[in-house]
Structure 1
Amino acid sequence: MTVNRNLVDIMKHFFQLTERNTSYKQETLAGLTTFLSIAYILIVNPLILSQSGMVKGAVFTATALTAIIGSLLIGILSNYPIAIAPSMGLNSFFTFSVCIGMGIAWPVALTGVFVASILFVLLSLLKIREKIINTIPSDLKHAIASGIGFFIAFIGLKNAGIIVSNEATYISIGNLLSPLT
């Protein structure tokens, strides 16, 4: 019992619960709420990336591990309550634009992601990334975020059968009376 009590005190001190006017109960509810709000990624991410040729089960495992490790690291290293998970916008771009659109095999495209991540870390360490971000107008930042959101919504509507291909207009409403839709 002493070990458990000491662990509780250590966590309470480390995460500054008293100073931040919060409690274990409140943080547990917040964590559960956050998990429930991002849990969809465990289903959607494998569905999207499997269309590039990746194995759904492997993508599910990688998605779960990435979210767990990333969230733990950000919580422990920065002492900040943020959940980290793979980006649906980038995964959609990877699958539909790079792999399917450009015809690049997913292992080759994933190598490109690895190289880009090394460059990203270097740009971050050299403080160049921050300078680049600060030069982008905020309206453009909002437009990019909105565009990614619309792109993800479009893919969801297409996968649900709510919108379908149409030679004359490019897209049209699907059969809303179909049980699959």
Structure 2
Amino acid sequence: MTPGLEKLDHLEETIAYKFRDHDLLAQAMTHRSWAHEQVSPYSQRDARELHNEALEFLGDSILGLVVADYLFKAYPGASEGELSRMKHRLVSAPTLAKASTELGLGDYLRFGRGEEKSGGRRKRALLADVFEAVTGAIFLDGGLSAATEFVERALGQELRAANPVSAAAADPKTM
């Protein structure tokens, strides 16, 4: 197992998903500041192979798909605008950071010294990013159904609270 990530077995219990490839979970929990501190400028190993930004990119798309599919099925009479506003709120940084905090994902993140000192574990944007990275890692490890189960479980309360009426009245600039 990757050094410094001995607690990942506990994280798997928390997120209710057991990885076949533990390196994916380790990568999802690694901020680029840590990766850049580990790689020598003369090394053949690229820091991009270690940190979570590519998984975050993938997870963002998977998350959007899962939430759109859920809303489409849950609200068949909702307009495209209502669905879009509900989706926008559900995949927003505040919503994802809240879910990440509830799962305790910040406790498992690896940061470089500077990011650790600046309170990276509590930064909303970084907590939202790690939620996306974990979603991407689960997708790569277990496929779309595993990623869907994770997202629907982690965002369950928010998904069930989605409301086309309040979405229609929401100001898109405040979301």
Superposed pair shares fold, TM > 0.5: no
Greater Rg by CA: 1
Higher strand share: 1
TM-score, length basis structure 2: 0.30
Question: TM-score normalized by structure 1?
Answer: 0.29
Q: Which has the higher contact order (CA 8 A, sep 6+)?
A: 2
